[in-house]
């Protein structure tokens, strides 16, 4: 199954609707049902769009975790509690609720990023900050990725 890849720049309209790129819509319609879930990231200031099967897999993992663990409680409060079912409209857009736009700091300039099994939504300024190579420890990242075989 093909994964979500690529980076696209779009503008959100005044109502918070964002066009999902055509290649992503094709993957959704060909490989998933139309049901999608939108949730906060646990740490980054962005949102994730999960196809239903990916959301179900995440829920299954979370259900198996110790519910009294502080990290699990945080994850449930930040990610699970934020999740909302969303649909693509006939124009290929999703509506990002106001609370989630606020949580992710989404303004009008949006970056939509494929992450293989999910799609990220970033405010352009946040994306530029999160991907600024000057702000990472390149040697440590290279060593870690090499350890993963990448």
Q: Specify the number of domains making up the chain.
A: 1
State the residue range of the domain holding 19.
7-147
Q: How much is the mean pLDDT over the chain?
A: 94
Name which of 34-38, 49-53, 78-82, 102-106 the model is least confident about.
Answer: 34-38
- pLDDT tens per residue across span 3-37: 999 999 999 999 999 999 999 999 999 988 768 99
Q: Is residue 1 part of a domain?
A: no
- pLDDT tens per residue across span 68-85: 999 999 999 999 999 999
Structure tokens at 91: 């124009």
Structure tokens at 10: 């779009």
CATH number where 25 lies: 3.40.1550.20
Structure tokens at 79: 């990610």
Q: Is residue 63 part of a domain?
A: yes
Do 62 and 80 touch, CB atoms closer than 8 A? yes
């Amino acid at each position: 199954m093909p994964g979500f890849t690529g980076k696209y720049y779009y503008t959100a309209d005044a109502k918070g609707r964002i066009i999902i790129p055509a290649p992503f819509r094709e993957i959704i319609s060909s490989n998933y049902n139309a049901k999608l879930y939108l949730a906060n990231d646990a740490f980054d200031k962005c949102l994730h769009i999960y196809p239903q099967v990916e959301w179900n897999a995440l829920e299954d993992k979370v259900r198996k975790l110790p519910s009294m663990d502080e990290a699990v409680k945080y994850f449930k409060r930040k990610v699970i509690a934020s999740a909302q079912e969303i649909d693509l409209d006939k124009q290929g857009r999703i509506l990002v609720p106001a609370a989630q736009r606020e949580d992710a700091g989404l303004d009008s300039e949006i970056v939509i990023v494929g992450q293989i099994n999910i799609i990220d939504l970033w405010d352009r300024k946040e994306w530029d900050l999160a991907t600024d190579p000057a702000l990472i420890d390149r040697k440590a990242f290279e060593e870690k990725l090499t350890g993963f075989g990448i």
